[in-house]
Every structure is written in C-alpha cells, then in structure tokens.
Structure 1
Amino acid sequence: MKIEATDLAEVKIITQRRFGDDRGWFTETWNAERMAGAGVVIDWVQDNHSFSAAKGTLRGLHYQRPPHAQDKLIRCSRGAILDVAVDFRTGSPSFGKWVAVELSAENGAQVLVPKGFLHGFLTLTADTEVQYKCSDFYAPDCDGAVRWDDPEIGVDWAGLGGLSGAPVLSDKDKVAPFLRDAPRPFVFGGMA
C-alpha cells in the first residue's frame, strides 16, 4: 500500500498493491488494520456506487454538513474520472484551494477526502462507475453543494479533464450557489 500526500495535506491518494497472474489481478480496496497502522482510522458506514453513461458528466461540488458530515474514500471501478477536492473550512490557510487526481479502473488509485472538503468528479470516459465509502449516512437535510464552475475556486476542468463544452449536470448542480453565497458549516480545526 502506498499513501501519497497532495497539495492539500489532508487529502490523500491511496494505492493498494495488486496481485496478478494470467487470470487477472486481486487487490484489497480497504483493510482497517493496515490503514490504522498508517494513521487512517475511519469507521465506514455506507458504500455508494454511481454509474455515468456519458463522458463529460460532472457530479459536484458536494458536501454534507454536520451533524452528518462525511469522510469519503473514492475509487473508479470502470472507466476514468478527474476527482476534485476543495478545502471548504473557514479559516483554513488553503480555503477555496483545490486538488485534482485522475482515478481509473486501470490505475486503481483511491482518494481520501475528509470532512470539511467539497468533492466532485468529471467522467473522462463513457460508461464510468465510481464507488466510494462514507463515514456517515446520507442525510438529505444536511446535503449541500457549491457551483462546479465557481471562478473564485477556479477548477480547471477543461485543462485537466479535457472538458469541451458544457458538462452533463444534475438539476441540483445547475443551481448550486457560488462559494461566496454558500453556508459555511466547517471551521478549520473543528466543525462550526
């Protein structure tokens, strides 16, 4: 197992070892004992699996506020995505800064996005499947989003993900507020 830091210290890239032979390969996507040994101790309570038919589908930038804030461990099990995390903690030196990582079925990498960060992804291929673990249950009354194209954040979806034209968006993501207008449920060093 390899754990890599990103430009946002709390967001980690986790790559598990694959064991292959002429049949294919095997990997552990999560091992609580090994991860605890590496300092990652999270009780996962929900697994999610999404399918996006079209290349250029964008989901995000989402968060779930306290008392049901979620850590997430994201992986792409079919196709490829550009996975993005944005620091959403008021008072953080990196507030509004983002990091992007390509996740694919081929590279097997995962991204750990902790509470207090916005999360979103852009599909780089058609027929893409994404699976992720969450540390709290989905709570519709705590669900929130910030606009995917907020200029204050400035995610370079086109340059990094090859987005040309408008992405495929949900109705919720089409009307998400800009960062300046969004509630601020997270505070650097703790929750609001």
Structure 2
Amino acid sequence: MSDRTNEIPLEIKAKLMQHYGLIGKQQTKSGTGEQSMNGYLPPQAAAQSMKPLIIVPGVGIGPLKLGMSRGEAQEVFSHNSTLEFYASHMEYDSDDKLIGMEISNPYGPSSLVLLYNGVDVFKTKAEALVSVIEEAAPYIRDGSSESGYGYIFRELQMSVWRPVVDEEHLTFATVAIASPGYY
C-alpha cells in the first residue's frame, strides 16, 4: 500500500480541506477552550457530544485520522463509544498506522451522523449520494456499481456499499476512506 501513484490530487484534497475549514488557521471548536490543530477536533472534545462527524477523504472521519497509530485510534474510541461501535473495519499497515477505515450503519436508528460535503451519507438515497460524491471524482464503472451495491471513488480513496438493493434499502450501509494507493 505504499504506492503513491494513486494519490488524491492535491487540488481535490485542498478544495475539501478548505471547504471544511481544515487549513490555514487554528480554531476553537469544542467550546472547552481547547485549541485544535489545523481545525481538527481533539478526541476529548469530540467525545463530549455526538455531533455530526465530517468525512474528509485522504484525511479522516471525525476524530479518526488516517496515519494515526493504533493506540491513538484506541484513545479516540475510549472517548467515543458510539463511533467505536459503528467502526466496522480498521486497517493498519506494518508500522501500525491507520491506512483504512469503514464505518457502518446497518439501516437502524443511529446517533451517528456522518457528513460528506454537508450530506448525511446514511440518510441520503444512494443515487443522490453517488451524484454528490461524483461531483468531486468519478467512480469505477464495474459490476458492483452497475448493480448499485457499491461504488469506489479511486481519486478520493473513498467507497460506499450496501448489501441489498431494493425498494426497502435505499441508502448505503457503509462508507470507507483509505490512504493513497489503497484502492
């Protein structure tokens, strides 16, 4: 996974980070007076309330950041049991750094809200969510996307998936992001 040829284009990454206010300044977002580095919310502040978590491809989901150690991820989870519950897959490289994460919401009521570009990924109809994500990068045209089950947005190193495509299951069940070169 160390191949950097599929790295997210800088202009896309910069655009997303600027959109979410993650570059250029330090901000206090927690209301506790804690400073956040480049706009990232410290894990302790994130645990105080279950506010929507922002998905930033190439960076992270809420307080979980790609490149953090397993211990740092466990620290985030120790302050946020809801996020830990819905984190269905965490993948680490040989240096024990986080290279991929998947968050699941199996169609039930959830206190977890994940936003991509201001859109709730678990409450937005699949076709509408794909359109929103595709504004930033195209998805891989394959059997999974043609059938509506899953979409991989390679330029963003992001994917969405659902186990069933029918009139009852209109939204995705998982969202995943990964380090450059993963997909």
TM-score between the two structures when normalised by the length of structure 2: 0.28
Point out which structure has higher relative CO (alpha carbons under 8 A, 6+ apart).
1
Structure with the bigger percentage of helix: 2
Structure with the bigger percentage of strand: 1
TM-score between the two structures when normalised by the length of structure 1: 0.28
